Amino acid sequence: MFTEETQDDPDDWMTALLRSPIFQRLPPVNLQKILMSLEAVHFVKGDVILDQGGMGDYYYLIKKGQCELTRKPSPNAKEIRLAQLATGDTFGEDSLLSDAPRNVTITALTDISLLRLNKQQFVSLIKEPSLTFITYIDMQEAVKQGAILLDVRTPDDYENHHLDGSINEPFFSLRMQLKTLNRDKPIIVVCGDGKTSEAAVFLLLRNKINAMILSGGMAGINPEPEHDIVPATDIQVITGNPETIHQKHELKQSVDDSVSISSNVQNNQIRMLQSEIEALKMTNQQLNDKCMKLEFDKQHAEKQARILHKQLEKLTQVLDKFKGG
């Protein structure tokens, strides 16, 4: 059973939210919209907040209290305790990201106050600006540079077919294996169609692990075979008098030179544009970081102001009593 939350709680949840790696990636305008859209609800100790097998509808932030995550590998199996969450932690995103039924049950360990965001708001304000996708071709280059391929499908699916060099860690157990993952290299997450990867990457980002999604998953892989292409002009038999043949060769050389020059110019322009884009991205990230710090400082200052106001009220009361005596 839950009820609407009406009383204000301390601001620890706000501090935790602003420090969260996920929320630090968001534009300040998104943070403002999130704070304005959060709906407060309350559960009592022992209440089941989310049931394994149910469909996702909300994303939750713990304002005050504790809850635990459990999972049944099969209907008749014993529940496995996965984690315990407390003030400032979030949950409920897995089903919203994967469009699959809830994969865990969440139960209140204490009376608990929550703030929730509906699915549509979660997708537009949090999911879309947080997740990064990579194509198969770009993934191959990233692996050459040291990126790690993490396949989050079941062991059976992995054994049936997987990418060379990938490691398997099923999504349902990923939460328990976070400490074993290499945090020094970027991780590219692979699943069947890319949906489970979104939930996995969200979990990794939340735990300060740099991760991205192989777009389309295994179903989207369609590498084009490489062929040695021989230009048609080089394999044609050239007939005619020597002067005509020489003119044709000169014409071909002129075209080739023009194409080469044009290609070099285009490559230089592309490199310049890429450099400008990277510079703009860096500037944008720096501005976002400054905005986040200002927002955090603002929240901290407001909290300190409330504390000082309460202290002033107490001092005023003491002074009034002293005057009255």
Give me the DSSP letters along 228-279: -PPPHHHHSPP-S-HHHHHHHHHHHHHHHHHHHHHHHHHHHHHHHHHHHHHH
Torsion of CA 198, 203, 204, 210, to 10 degrees: 60
Q: Which pLDDT score is estimated for 233? A: 40
Please list the residues that pair with 318 across neighbouring strands.
none
Contact present, 57 and 119 (Cβ < 8 Å)? yes
155: exposed, middle or buried (Cβ count in 10 Å: 0-12, 13-18, 19+)? exposed
Domain extents in the chain: 2-130, 133-220
Q: Among 102, 6, 10, which residue's Cα sits nearest to residue 60?
A: 102
Would the pTM of this model clear 0.75, i.e. be above it?
Answer: no
Q: Read out DSSP for 84-97?
A: EE-TT-EE-HHHHH
Element housing 184 (H / E): none
| CATH no., domain 133-220 | 3.40.250.10
126 HSE (CA, 13 A, CB side): 33
- Please report which helix (H) or strand (E) contains residue 1, including its range: none
Handedness of CA 2, 97, 86, 295 (dihedral sign): negative
Q: Which amino acid is at 241?
A: N
Which residues fall within 8 angstroms of residue 190, CB to CB, at 6 or more apart? 149, 150, 151, 152, 153, 162, 163, 166, 197, 214, 217, 218
The letter for the amino acid at 147 is A
How many beta carbons lie within 10 A of that of residue 61, not counting itself?
Answer: 24
Query: What average pLDDT is seen over the chain?
Result: 80
**Which CATH number applies to 2-130: 3.40.50.1450, 2.70.98.10, 2.60.120.10, 3.50.50.60?**
2.60.120.10
Task: Determine contact, residues 104/71, Cβ cutoff 8 Å.
Answer: yes
Q: What is the pLDDT along the chain (325 residues), one digit of tens a residue?
A: 544 443 444 567 888 888 888 888 899 999 999 999 999 999 999 999 999 999 989 999 999 999 999 988 888 888 888 889 998 889 999 889 888 899 899 999 999 999 999 999 999 999 999 999 999 999 999 999 999 999 999 999 999 999 999 999 998 888 888 889 989 999 999 999 999 999 999 999 989 999 999 999 999 886 554 443 334 344 343 345 556 555 656 666 666 666 666 666 677 677 777 767 766 656 655 555 455 555 555 665 666 677 777 777 777 776 677 666 5
Query: Which residues in 172-195 are b (16+ Cβ under 10 Å) and which e?
Result: bebbeeeeebeeeebbbbbbbebb
